Structure 1
Amino acid sequence: MKRKDYEDALEGLQAELVGVSRWLRASGKRLLVILEGRDAAGKGGTIRAITEHLDTRSYRVVALPKPSDRESTQWYFQRYVTHLPAAGEFVLFDRSWYNRAGVEPLMGFCSQAQYAQFLDDCPIFERMLADDGILLLKYWLAVDQAEQETRFAERAEDPLKRWKLSPIDVAAREKYAEIGRLRDVMLERTHAAHAPWFVVDYNDQRRGQLTLIRHLLDRLPDTSVPSPITELPALREAPERERLADPSFWIGDRD
């Protein structure tokens, strides 16, 4: 998709997202969006597109590292609970508790018993979230293996993007089909009306972002809340110039 077409379409969607943020604060609703998907699919870029123009106090992005030794002994969902949205908040999970449905069984980071227990427990856990009023949407970002390999190569060549490649990403490259089978089980076992899954084609990242954001907006109820300020009254006096008692504090040019 051409950049100009993408940016024009994204601007309108971002304006609607600002309205959603205003609606959340006014209504006290809580919105939780989970982004899962293939490595290099574009989760980070999608989160940036969603949050670019939002009040930083109105949303949080959660991207947890691997659990500590102490966290590994807790109830599996425990460390995620503290990051759930409060009234008026929009929380986005860049990967989530669904690590236990994908990367953990894939790489042997959990036992088969723990994996099976997660598939039993997850729908119950998410039912509790929905019953408490949290609006929960879950997206899987899908990418063909050839496109994924192109993005991996780009990251490996670019010193500004190499940090995005982890040893786990490299190890998982040979397990593309197995990841797909784990994903299909996850979708089958954890999809529900109160916590639905949606799969988005991200072979074209720009088109994928627009599709996801449009879908997210359409899944919400009427979020119309009037903007508190639409125009500014004129100043009673002429604008003043910024002045310091001690001008040595300035950095850069100040003519």
Structure 2
Amino acid sequence: MFESAEIGHAIDKDAYDAAVPALREALLEAQFELKQQSRFPVIVLINGVEGAGKGETVKLLNEWMDPRLIQVSTFDQQTDEELARPPAWRYWRQLPPKGQMGIFFGNWYSQMLQGRVDGRIKTAVLDQAIDGAQRLEQMLCDEGALIFKFWFHLSKKQMKARLNTLKDDPLHCWRISPLDWQQSKTYDKFVRFGERILRRSSRDYAPWYVVEGANQYYRSLTVGRILLEGLQVALQNQQSPQRSPHAAPLIASLDNLGLLDSLDMSQRLEKSDYEEQLAAEQARLSGLMRDKRFRKHALVAVFEGNDAAGKGGAIRRVAAALDPRQYRIVPIAAPTEEECAQPYLWRFWRHIPGRGKFTVFDRSWYGRVLVERIEGFCSPADWLRAYGEINDFEEQLTRAGVVLVKFWLSIDQNTQLQRFEEREQIPFKRFKITEDDWRNRDKWPQYSDAVGDMVDRTSSEIAPWTLVEANDKRFARVKVLRTINDALAAAYARD
């Protein structure tokens, strides 16, 4: 794959100077059209051999284009904040919004490649990391992102010649970094595993471009022209290509009974039993959260459920057991303008807690397969592929030590009607009832089907759903607390 990049391409300065003005003008026009349309972001991944001109080329792109619309990020050693979260978190938080360009040095490929070259991971783990990168890029592209992946290449002979030239030049020897010398010793392994990454991860939606780096004029024009061509094609395509759904057609229940119909909604707790059990579970949660083993974990609780099912009351009983400094409650409403400019899961990734912390999501990422599906806020292709994206997201959380508990609080239609009417009569509860709540009652069957599909496709061994019979609020609150406690205790037992 790299052989053609080692041939060398002779473009002299005169040819370069003649080509740059028109290229620069076209790139600026494309960049401003990108901003004006604001339909998609551009993500540029920079990888390759040290000394092949990666930094110089990106510096030049910032000179040719408007740097205010380009965000350059580099990922060296992970910070303590990043180490306390899933590996992809550090990249997600730096994603450019729609209409702008993000350039990533030291990206997900750099990390996995260096880990394999250094012997910290085996080839099988490298291949797993490549597969994970492909899933991430597939998701970003499905969300509309335009991805360019560049590998800047030098042959072993070219790299040695560069180092020998610079080390004897008192004016330019500073340009040699310790990483240059290190890579010169591991060049063969670096290139071998780099080629493995390129071969396994170059796809039509996110292809690799190998750029010969010895000739600065050639590499600059090549990168500029590739970016320009890709931008122009994407900008001219006014409608994002509709990808085929990534899930099989959903199958209706043969007996016309949904998942929620199987719940025993008659379960209740008398007041005295409730108060005793509530106090016991709150005390247990307080102790589990103070346990030193919690420092290895984070806790995330997801609350979904029917309108008026008692999510707020259950969350308050959980919070009542804890120091406010230990937890954070994130209410999820309609996305903001900033959130709409990012991939769907971005708004949730940014709130993932570090180790020793607890985050409660009052509504969550499951809105895509519930309200957005039912109300037509996204296409069928979007919510169908969301099942796989959510499963991948939750797997990353659990691998990073996050204890994830997911609740669906379920009530029947009669109980909901009674609670709606009570809310309209009680002054301090009137804010809880809206016209949308009443309107959603007309779509009860559609929501029930969507919940069944959601649980069927996203309840896994590592992130199971807990269905809570919530006609009796006391019973529901105790079950929620007990489930959280059991999940923490199980995580500690595995440590």
Tell me whether the two structures share a fold, i.e. TM-score over 0.5: yes
Specify the alignment match of 2:345 in structure 1: 77
The alpha-carbon deviation at position 51 of structure 1 amounts to 0.9
Secondary structure of 1:161's match? helix
Q: CA deviation at 1:211?
A: 1.8
Q: Which runs of 4+ in 1 moved over 4 A?
A: none
Q: How many residues were matched structurally?
A: 224
Query: Counterpart in 2 of 1:57?
Result: 325
Give 2:425's aligned amino acid.
Answer: E
Higher deviation after alignment, 161-170 or 145-154 = 161-170
Q: Secondary structure at the match of 2:340?
A: helix
Aligned to 1:90: 358
Output one character per residue of 1:77-132: Cα deviation in whole Å (capped at 9) or x when no partner: 00111111111011111110011111111122222221112122111111111111
1:203-242 paired onto structure 2 within 5 Å: 203-221=471-489
Whole-Å separation in 2 of the counterparts to 1:175 and 1:11 = 38
Q: Residue in 2 aligned with 1:249?
A: none
SS at match of 2:404: strand
Provide the residue aligned with 1:150 in structure 2: 418
Query: Relative contact order (alpha carbons < 8 A, sep ≥ 6): 1 or 2 greater?
Result: 1
Q: Which residue of 2 aligns with 1:178?
A: 446
Instruction: Tell me the CA shift for residue 216 of structure 1.
Output: 2.1
| CA deviations over 1:218-246 (Å, ceiling 9, x no partner) | 2222699xxxxxxxxxxxxxxxxxxxxxx
Matching of residue 33 in structure 1 with residue 301 in structure 2: yes
Query: What residue identity is the alignment partner of 1:39?
Result: D
Once the two structures are TM-superposed, the CA of residue 3 in structure 1 deviates from its matched residue by 2.8
Residue identity matched to 1:128: Q
**Amino acid corresponding to residue 94 of structure 1 in structure 2:** D
Match of 1:8 in 2: 276
> Do the aligned partners of 1:36 and 1:95 also contact (CA within 8 Å) in 2?
yes
SS of the residue corresponding to residue 389 of structure 2 reads: helix
Moved more, 7-16 or 64-73: 64-73
Q: Secondary structure at the match of 1:220?
A: helix
Farther-moved stretch of structure 1 (143-152 vs 20-29): 20-29
The 1:178–1:24 alpha-carbon spacing in structure 2 relative to 1, beyond 3 Å, is farther
Residue type of the partner of 2:349? V
Please state whether the residue corresponding to 1:70 is helix, strand or coil: helix
Distance 1:200 1:220, change over 3 A: same
Counterpart position of 1:240: none
The answer to whether the 8 Å contact 1:33/1:138 transfers is yes
> Is the 2:296–2:401 contact (alpha carbons within 8 Å) kept by the matching residues of 1?
no
Which residue type is aligned with residue 209 of structure 1?
R
* Residue of structure 1 in register with 2:459 after alignment: 191
Deviation digits for residues 199-230 of structure 1 (CA, Å, limit 9, x no counterpart): 01001010111122112212222699xxxxxx
CA distance, structure 1, for counterparts of residue 296 and residue 441 of structure 2: 42
SS at match of 1:87: coil
Is the CA contact (8 Å cut-off) linking 1:84 and 1:91 kept in structure 2?
A: yes
SS at match of 1:195: coil
Stretch of structure 1 that moved more, 2-11 or 73-82 = 2-11
SS in structure 2 of the partner of residue 215 of structure 1: helix
* CA distance 1:107–1:15, change in 2 (3 Å): same
Given the alignment of the two structures, is residue 134 of structure 1 paired with residue 402 of structure 2, yes or no?
Answer: yes
When residues 24 and 200 of structure 1 are mapped into structure 2, their CA distance, relative to the original with a 3 A threshold, is farther
TM superposition shift of 1:171 = 1.4
Following the alignment from structure 2 to structure 1, what is the Cα–Cα distance between the partners of residues 294 and 398? 20
> Whose helix fraction is larger, Structure 1's or Structure 2's?
2
Contact 1:32/1:90 (8 A) holds in 2: yes
Supply the distance in 2 between the matched residues of 1:183 and 1:204 (Cα, whole angstroms). Answer: 20
- What residue in structure 2 maps to residue 101 of structure 1? 369
Structure 2: how far apart are the matches of 1:82 and 1:24? 25
Q: Which moved more, 1:81-90 or 1:213-222?
A: 213-222
1:57, distance to aligned residue in structure 2 (A): 0.3
- The whole-number CA distance in structure 2 between the counterparts of 1:11 and 1:5 is 10
Q: CA deviation at 1:155?
A: 0.9
Shift of 1:192: 0.9
Q: 1:246 is matched with which residue? A: none
Query: 1:59 corresponds to which letter in structure 2?
Result: Y
Q: Give the partner amino acid of 1:177.
A: P
Would the alpha carbon gap of residues 95 and 24 (structure 1) be closer, same or farther in structure 2, given more than 3 Å must change?
Answer: farther
Q: Indicate if the aligned counterparts of 2:403 and 2:487 stay in contact, CA closer than 8 A.
A: no
Counterpart contact for 1:18–1:53, Cα < 8 Å: yes
* Structure 2: stretches of 5+ with no match in the other structure: 1-268
**Within the alignment, does 1:122 sit opposite 2:420 as a pair?**
no
Contact 1:20 1:223 (C-alpha < 8 Å) held by counterparts: no
CA contact (8 A) 1:101 1:186 kept: yes
